[in-house]
Amino acid sequence: MQAPAPDNHTADIARRHFLQAGMLAGAAPALLAAAPALAADTAAGATDAQVAPGKAAESRDNREKPAAQDTKGGQTVTLAAYGAGVRYAQIPPEVLQRAKDCMTDAVATIIYGAELPWSKMIIAYARQNGSGGKSQILGSGTRPVHPQMAALAQGAMAHAFELDNLTKPDSGAHPGAALFSSGLAMAQDRGQGGQALLAAFVAGAEVMLRIGYATKHTNEERGFHAPGTTGPFGGAVTVGHLLGFDQARMVNALGIAGSCAGGLLAFAHAGNGAMVKRLNVGRGAEGGVVAADLAAQGFTGPSTVLEGEGGFLRAFCPDYDLAELTRGLGATYETMNIMIKRYACHITAHTPVEAMLDLRKAHGFKAEDIDGITVAGSPRMTTVNNIPKPADALLAQFSIPFCVALSMYRNPVDPRSFDDKVAQDAAILALAQRVNMQLAPGQKNNDLASTVTVKLKDGRSFSSHVTAFTGTPERPLDRAGLREKFMLLTRSHPEAAMAKLFDRIQGLEKEKNLDWLRV
């Protein structure tokens, strides 16, 4: 179904009269028709989605930033054209492998997440409101639901225990939770196979991660939870690709996704209510399905939803970089920036925990030997994640001081170390009070590096500066390491069945349908 042709006078309506007349939906076709001309200088080559084989994303930390913002517009249309044009055969093997690794990791985190009480509440909600479809909720039995409910549940379950994958540099997006959850739901509903899901995942990742980078992570400075704001866009492109969208429908899907973006960081400041952190990510995946499903029916959305007046970046971010929306589009793959989390805690705690473990191994000290610990890092690390006395296990995972202290008493790799009593562990709490968070001069919020200094009671002092951990793009998790994490998270299920599931996901491109992907 094509969008209706605009009235002859629509394109000439003044913006003020346009808004007063309430004709945004009716004028969308005219905006969409004009948008390609605006985007012509940035869209070259994007519709064919031909990316230089084997070329990963250039380090964003080393790129020169433009002196002024691009005010020509058209970025939403450019990204839509790219997302609609990605083809499986054009994606380099290493990018497909990174996508499969991300999906494998997502399956494990979803299955583990199914065991948790807050996930069970969302699963119950999804079954109550979405029964009768063809999409599975992994780890919860084999009774299917409709795609949007499967995406909601699995997006929240993937993020249920701080185990799901992210990106480095940090885009604020959660690719597995947002893209796999929404993509699998629609692929199962439509009877599609592994290659279709892989191509759709990469299309969604390339768009969503660029949107995340464009925010400069300032959406969280304003109080929004980043993955809840970027997830609907990535999910919309992933699902739209599975539905065979052309550029026009993909533009509408992105426009609608903007109205699904949200999620707040109030839980981090209130010291309670951290279950909503999981819901924010689930709603992002759900929003992607809703946006694409509506676009498929002819529903329209603004064609400048990302860059325009009243659009996503202007509304959600006090500072942003429009150039990041299309930087390297058609030349590099941001999918290669996906990283697999090593520890069962918030990503900002990963380098401090890694540093702490390295220092303990090198110098052999024990928790009772420590006089104090200093962690130097980004502004976000020293504020949002500086929670010395977390109220519960969810906030404990979000707290850098607590995670650093825990690493001296428990195994931070095993999510079961963060049990429901962990926030009341007197020894961990006592050490967490002696962790001093300091701002590293000039460090930005998307920089996950940290310097940890441990001062012992005997006067000795040791320091470690960590910029990467096993699972980051520069130190990717190999197949054995990924299998180890997968089997650890799924150990409540039969080992042989989980080993077979791991192997089958790693060969996803051979699968003609995805009905077998159920637990």
Question: Could you please report the per-residue DSSP string of 307-329?
Answer: TSTTSHHHHH-SS--GGGGTTTT
Structure tokens at 263: 């999620």
- CATH H-level superfamily of 347-466: 2-methylcitrate dehydratase PrpD (3.30.1330.120)
Least confident of 28-42, 60-74, 432-446: 28-42
Confidence of residue 66 (pLDDT cuts 50, 70, 90): very low
Average pLDDT over residues 478-492: 95
Q: Output the average pLDDT for the chain.
A: 88
Q: For a pLDDT cut of 90, what percent of the chain falls above it?
A: 84
Confidence of residue 271 (pLDDT cuts 50, 70, 90): confident
Instruction: Rounding to the nearest 10 degrees, give the CA dihedral for residues 187, 190, 191, 196.
Output: -40
Confidence of residue 56 (pLDDT cuts 50, 70, 90): low
Check whether 4 has a pLDDT greater than 80: no
Least confident of 28-37, 130-139, 357-366, 440-449: 28-37
Average pLDDT over residues 17-44: 36
Check whether 296 has a pLDDT greater than 90: yes
Least confident of 27-41, 166-180, 271-285: 27-41
Instruction: Rounding to the nearest 10 degrees, give the CA dihedral for residues 404, 407, 409, 411.
Output: 150
Least confident of 66-75, 201-210, 404-413: 66-75
Please report the pLDDT score of residue 44 as a whole number. Answer: 37
Domain 75-342+490-510 has CATH 3.40.190.10: no
Check whether 491 has a pLDDT greater than 50: yes
Please report the pLDDT score of residue 55 as a whole number. Answer: 52
Average pLDDT over residues 442-447: 91
Domain span(s) for CATH 1.10.4100.10 in the chain: 75-342+490-510
**R_g (Cα) of the chain, nearest Å:** 23
d(CA 191, CA 75): 32
C-alpha distances in Å from residue 426, one per residue of 374, 381, 382, 389, 505: 20, 23, 23, 11, 42
Q: For a pLDDT cut of 70, what percent of the chain falls above it?
A: 86
In tens, the pLDDT along 93-105 reads: 999 999 999 999 9
Please report the pLDDT score of residue 446 as a whole number. Answer: 83
Check whether 495 has a pLDDT greater than 70: yes
Please report the pLDDT score of residue 5 as a whole number. Answer: 39
In tens, the pLDDT along 139-154 reads: 999 899 999 999 999 9
Domain span(s) for CATH 3.30.1330.120 in the chain: 347-466
Average pLDDT over residues 340-362: 96
Confidence of residue 497 (pLDDT cuts 50, 70, 90): very high
Please report the pLDDT score of residue 34 as a whole number. Answer: 38
Least confident of 54-58, 120-124, 311-315: 54-58
Please say whether the beta carbons of 154 and 408 come within 8 A: no
Please report the pLDDT score of residue 73 as a whole number. Answer: 59
The residues near 396 (Cβ < 8 Å, ≥ 6 apart) are: 390, 402, 403, 406, 418, 422, 423
Please say whether the beta carbons of 320 and 219 come within 8 A: no
d(CA 330, CA 49): 6
Query: According to the 3-state scheme, what is the secondary structure of 288-304?
Result: HHHHHHHHHCCCCCCCC
Please report the pLDDT score of residue 15 as a whole number. Answer: 35
Please say whether the beta carbons of 320 and 63 come within 8 A: no
Average pLDDT over residues 402-406: 98
In tens, the pLDDT along 199-253 reads: 999 999 999 999 999 999 999 999 999 999 999 999 999 999 999 999 999 999 9
Average pLDDT over residues 181-191: 98
Check whether 412 has a pLDDT greater than 80: yes
Confidence of residue 86 (pLDDT cuts 50, 70, 90): very high
Residue with the bigger pLDDT between 2 and 241: it is: 241
- Count CB atoms within 10 A of the CB of residue 134: 17
Please report the pLDDT score of residue 109 as a whole number. Answer: 98
For residues 262-279, b (16+ Cβ closer than 10 Å) or e, as one string? bbbbebbeeeeebbbbbb
Report pTM. Answer: 0.83
Residue with the bigger pLDDT between 122 and 38: it is: 122
Confidence of residue 457 (pLDDT cuts 50, 70, 90): very high
Residue with the bigger pLDDT between 168 and 52: it is: 168
